[in-house]
Amino acid sequence: MFPLLTQYLLHNKKVSIPNIGSFIIEQQPAELNFVDRLLLPPAYKIIFANANAEDEELVSFIGDNSDLDQNTARQKLEHFGAALKNKLQESPFEWNGIGKLEYKDSIVFHPKKIGNVLQPVAANKVIR
């Protein structure tokens, strides 16, 4: 199930897992580092919220990729969320490429730093 959820998250920039919470990929704009005269590229960070919002688009995505009807896909997603929550209560879980989930009175998410493929660009003043 995690490969499907990862694919959905990377494509739609959000995913909501029942009993766990929602993950959102947020883009930070490019920054100008005036002191070092660099234009830093845009960055991405993953935000976690304990709120559960039912996502019909996710259910459809799971159903289409697993050859399941909507009700079966919804049940599979809910069962997956409940099983993951039970697992987190026993030990932390590392979601490859996304971050680490653990349970301490509630679910805590430690995002993995997403590396930039773009490099900073020199930002020199142009006098004409």
Q: Give yes or no for residue 89 having a pLDDT over 80.
A: yes
d(CA 117, CA 123): 19
Residue range 18-69, pLDDT digits in tens: 989 999 999 889 999 888 989 989 888 899 998 877 888 999 999 999 889 9
Whether pTM exceeds 0.75: yes
Pick from 85, 102, 128, 95: nearest CA to 10: 95
